[in-house]
Amino acid sequence: MTDTEIAAVRALLAAGERPADLAGRRARLDGLTARYDMPADVVVEPVDADGVKAEWTSTPAADPTRVILFLHGGGYVAGSIRSHRHMLAQAGREAGTRTLALDYRLAPENPFPAALEDALTGYRFLLAQGFLPQNIVLAGESAGGGLAIATLVSLRDAGTPLPACAWCASPWVDLEMSGATMESKAAVDPLIQRSYLQELATAYLNGADPRNPLVSPIHADLEGMPPLLIQVGSDETLLDDAIRLAGVAASADVRTSLQVWPQMIHAWHLFYAQLGDGRRSLAEMGAFVRAVLG
């Protein structure tokens, strides 16, 4: 049952404390998913995306003309291609697309706007490779979800053709942490707390205004954005980020689907191999992408 499965994931997370040092934190996040084997039919291919380290994945079900461009989570200071590889491969399988994951530059070594610059480079790399905008899905998890929205806003403002749709999983879109669930869900969220997010935000912002729409797209004008799928767990301190993002998008006449998954925790998709709701949420994402792409 789902409650037993998510309890096992919670136990896994509780078994190791978050290290104090940056290198340890990065290694811990990569290690959380190292236990999951990559299916034998997944093809993995490193690529230089015009100066940004990246990686293709594909399965026999992938339409080679369609792609998910993925921006990983990790609070802008951790996370990598490695930490999200298995989950993204499954997302591509469900959507029937190839995937391109970006290893964008991380803070504090490379604060804002480095990650955004890399995301824009990755998107333009796909266009240069011949992918049509209507066959591209922009996706991100946690900080990567906020980065995905900031990328859409930047592309629109630059007059660049937008992708067909976007998928945001547990998006972090408010670096002021002003959402009510920062407090109301603190007791049930095993991963993300205000004090930790404040530390991450300080590293990424490096003095930038936290209300800048390109770091906190909860403040962005989302007019003209493509269809948006937002998935969030009910046990996340970031629940209010997702709900408010959906409201901002809907108010801008954006076709918006908000899914709140009961009992799910931050980044539950990463644990899909042992979590039924992880598999189901990826299947829902795949159905959304297939419906939009046609």
Residue positions annotated with a catalytic role:
142, 236, 266
E strand or H helix at 169: strand 165-169
Q: How far is CA 157 from CA 52, 129, 151, 160, 254, in A?
A: 22, 22, 10, 8, 16
- The gap between the terminal CA atoms of the chain, to the nearest Å, is 34
Distance in angstroms (rounded) separating the CA atoms of residues 191 and 21: 17
The answer to whether 237 and 192 have CB atoms below 8 angstroms apart is yes
Q: Strand 52-58 to strand 97-102: parallel, antiparallel, or no bridges (unpaired)?
A: antiparallel
The answer to whether 9 and 32 have CB atoms below 8 angstroms apart is no
Determine if the peptide bond prior to 64 is cis (ω within 30°): no
